[in-house]
Amino acid sequence: MPVEEGVLHPWPWNLYIDGSSTKDGSWVCLIIESPAGVRHEHALNFMFKASKNEAEYKAFIEGIELCYTAGADSFQAFFDSQLVVGQLNGAYEAKDANTV
């Protein structure tokens, strides 16, 4: 992904995450959008059994790395899971390590 060198933007980058889980594995779609509107789409296929929320957490970590690799100094993330958003912003608390 090209870095937009020398360009300062008042808006952060956007990271969109949408995941799914089946008995055969999990997949996630990541869309990274620069402040200039350049979009990069990535599909990740996890070959391990995971819940939809676990897949979205893993995708969030991958998305963070992709944003910074692309040159982002800040970003905002959008999920379709209220549980994941609630746990990340501190509104929800996991009861144990398996509650993801």
pLDDT per residue as tens digits for the range 35-89: 989 999 988 887 777 777 777 788 888 888 988 898 888 888 887 766 666 666 6
| HEC assignment per residue over the chain | CCCCCCCCCCCCEEEEEEEEEECCEEEEEEEEECCCCCEEEEEEEECCCCCHHHHHHHHHHHHHHHHHHCCCCCEEEEECCHHHHHHHCCCCCCCCCCCC
The CATH fold of domain 13-88 = Nucleotidyltransferase; domain 5 (3.30.420)
Contact present, 48 and 25 (Cβ < 8 Å): yes
Residue 33: what pLDDT? 93
Q: Which residue has the higher pLDDT, 51 or 7?
A: 51
Residue 3: what pLDDT? 47
